[in-house]
Amino acid sequence: MKQRKLGARGPVVSAIGLGCMGMSHGYGPAAPVGEMIELIRRAHAMGVTFFDTAECYGPYANETLVGEAVKPFRGEVVLATKCGITFENGAQKLDARPEVIRRSIEGSLTRLQTDHVDLYYLHRVDPKVPVEEVALVMKDLIDEGKILGWGLSEAGPKTIARAQAVCPLAAVQSEYSMMWREPEERIFPILEREGIGFVPFSPLGKGFLTGKITPDVKFGAEDFRVNVPRFDRENLEANMRLVEFVAALASAKGKTPAQIALAWVIAQKDWIVPIPGTRRLERLEENLGAAEVEFAPDEMAELNARLAAIPVKGYRYKGEFAKRVAE
């Protein structure tokens, strides 16, 4: 597996990481723990050194799963987890108070069976807590050796700049794919200028860019995509034009649509490390194969021009979740 450095202050990791959320949370009932431990260990055997989780995935179950899975080779991998989303009467609540972050890191260290977290994100910006206060507690955690670096998830340029001024960020995480390119204009300039790495989640468009989702798909009640406007039937039908384009490109290069979509993300900047998730070994092997796909400069220029001409219908969040994207 190829390696790359996650920004100026981030760690060196595999060019493709593994997002572990879907093993326990978000895409229907949790998968069998034993099978997921084996999948994570197979990923490591295939060269993956970057694993992403969060305390709210499950909640808490995903960190426990990841901690057990990587225990035999903890020193060989980079663990990323997140704080700032708590639960009240079963509902998610943003809470980034310093005392909550301190309590959260202790829980994460226990569940991950480790004495430090390599990359610790604020999962969502809490409008009630100045990001400068978050940066100060993260600085303290770095000084104490409990985390090696910190990051923000779904933060905008203003928030990134304010945080960066107090305690430099290792990485920022946000959705990014052929289907959602807003980060290119919104946050890439500040990330590049400040040497901050970028970790795209949903680099396969929440499964859409794999070509496996059809306009008549029906998601289960526990699959969060039932509440994503992009997957409303009318929008799905309109967005099939993008799927068809990716499929045609994949066929021409002798690759799969998922490999083309992931390779495109990797090719945009050398400080980008996507974290596609899966529960299946064959999909893991397919995704990791994207690290070997390359585009010539003229090929990429034409690809991007054609992508720009394909509109994507439907936002990626709605309701309360849409408000959690900071400025």
CATH number at residue 166: 3.20.20.100
Q: How confident is the model at residue 325 (pLDDT cuts 50, 70, 90)?
A: confident
Q: Quick check: helix, strand or coil at residue 151?
A: strand
Residue 229 lies in a domain: no
Whole-number pLDDT of residue 225: 93
Is 57 considered catalytic here? Answer: yes
Residue 222 lies in a domain: no
**CA-angle at 176, arms to 175 and 179, nearest 5°:** 110
Q: Write the pLDDT tens digit of every residue in 144-164.
A: 999 999 999 999 999 999 999
Whole-number pLDDT of residue 323: 64
Residue 301 lies in a domain: no
Query: Does residue 320 have a pLDDT over 80?
Result: no
57: its two tokens: 């995935």
- Consecutive H or E run containing 141: helix 131-143
Mean pLDDT across 131-147? 98
Comparing 60 with 327, the larger pLDDT belongs to 60
Which of 27, 57, 120, 176 is catalytic? The answer is 57
Query: Does residue 305 have a pLDDT over 90?
Result: yes
Q: How confident is the model at residue 304 (pLDDT cuts 50, 70, 90)?
A: very high
Residue 54 lies in a domain: yes
Sign of CA dihedral 45, 48, 53, 58: negative
Q: How confident is the model at residue 322 (pLDDT cuts 50, 70, 90)?
A: low
b (16+ CB within 10 A) / e for 105-134: beebbebbebebbbbbbbbbbbeebbbeeb
Q: Write the pLDDT tens digit of every residue in 155-209.
A: 999 999 999 999 999 999 999 999 999 999 999 999 999 999 999 999 999 999 9
Residue 133 lies in a domain: yes
Q: How confident is the model at residue 324 (pLDDT cuts 50, 70, 90)?
A: confident
Query: Does residue 9 have a pLDDT over 90?
Result: yes
Whole-number pLDDT of residue 91: 87
Residue 173 lies in a domain: yes
| Closest to 278 in 3D by CA, of 2, 35, 11 | 35
On average, the pLDDT of the chain sits at 95
Neighbours of 240 (CB within 10 A): 16
Range of the structural domain that residue 192 is part of: 3-205+268-293
Q: How far is CA 31 from the centre of its chain?
A: 19
Mean pLDDT across 5-17? 97
d(CA 156, CA 151): 12
What is the number of domains present in the chain? 1
Residue 154 lies in a domain: yes
Number of Cα atoms under 13 Å in the Cβ half of residue 241: 12
Mean pLDDT across 101-114? 98
Residue with tokens 């001409």: 309
Query: pTM to 2 decimals?
Result: 0.96
Mean pLDDT across 19-34? 96
Whole-number pLDDT of residue 308: 93
Mean pLDDT is lowest, of 58-72, 150-164, 222-236, for 222-236
Tell me the CA distances in angstroms from 34 to 24, 99, 221, 294, one per residue in order: 12, 34, 24, 35
Residue 46 lies in a domain: yes
| Closest to 310 in 3D by CA, of 168, 179, 175, 132 | 179
Question: pLDDT exceeding 90 applies to what percent of the chain?
Answer: 90
Mean pLDDT across 268-293? 98
Q: How confident is the model at residue 327 (pLDDT cuts 50, 70, 90)?
A: confident
